[in-house]
């Protein structure tokens, strides 16, 4: 019962900073069910965290589509695609801004 109470307390008292950290870590690692649930519930009640989550999801989707286009050989030829190094720097900058 104590672990259940601790999990519920964690979810109910999750702060924006922790929810953002969980979102950033979740892009690279598996999260516990409690972390995933806490971040999701927090985003439901916090407009700023919801917007940040949606923005990060859109950025991830854009980077993925650019990577897929590059692999398929259909990347734009006008120099508008990201190099692997630029992509890594961008993701690092996003992670740094969430700390």
Distance from the first to the final alpha carbon of the chain: 32
Total structural domains within the chain: 1
Q: Which of 6-10, 43-47, 91-95 has the lowest mean pLDDT?
A: 91-95
| Residue range(s) defining the domain that contains residue 45 | 2-97
- Give pTM, 2 decimals: 0.54
- The reported pLDDT for the residue numbered 98 is 58
Contact 59, 82 (CB under 8 A): no
Contact 98, 23 (CB under 8 A): yes
Mean pLDDT in residue range 32-40:
86
């Amino acid at each position: 019962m104590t672990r259940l109470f601790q999990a519920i307390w964690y979810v109910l008292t999750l702060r924006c900073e922790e929810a953002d950290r969980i979102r950033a870590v979740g892009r690279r690692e598996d999260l516990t069910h409690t972390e995933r649930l806490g971040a999701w519930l927090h985003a439901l009640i916090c407009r700023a965290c919801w917007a940040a989550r949606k923005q990060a999801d859109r950025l991830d989707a854009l980077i993925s589509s650019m990577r897929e286009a590059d692999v398929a050989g259909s990347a734009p030829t006008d120099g508008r695609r990201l190099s692997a190094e630029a992509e890594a720097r961008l993701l690092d900058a996003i992670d740094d801004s969430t700390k």
